[in-house]
Structure 1
Amino acid sequence: MDTATVVAFTIAIALLALTGFSIYTAFGPPSAELDDPFEDHED
């Protein structure tokens, strides 16, 4: 394979992995531990 193709696939896979992990953290089971700072300081 060409070097540019390998680099492009590596960047694409890293981006997809980061996006998947972010969605899992935001909406999956770990989201139960997240706090909303705006709800903590209601006036």
Structure 2
Amino acid sequence: GKRATKASASARREKEAQNPPKKRSWKAPTQSDAAETAHPEHED
């Protein structure tokens, strides 16, 4: 059970990395967008 959860988390991260940054929209769509646009070279 725990192994499946870990594997799922890993797969989920890989999927998110492949998919567009729509998941981080829930965190801060404006801030994320502004930060990426205002500071393109500032990759935190």
TM-score using structure 2 length: 0.43
Larger Rg: 1
> Which is helix-richer, 1 or 2?
1
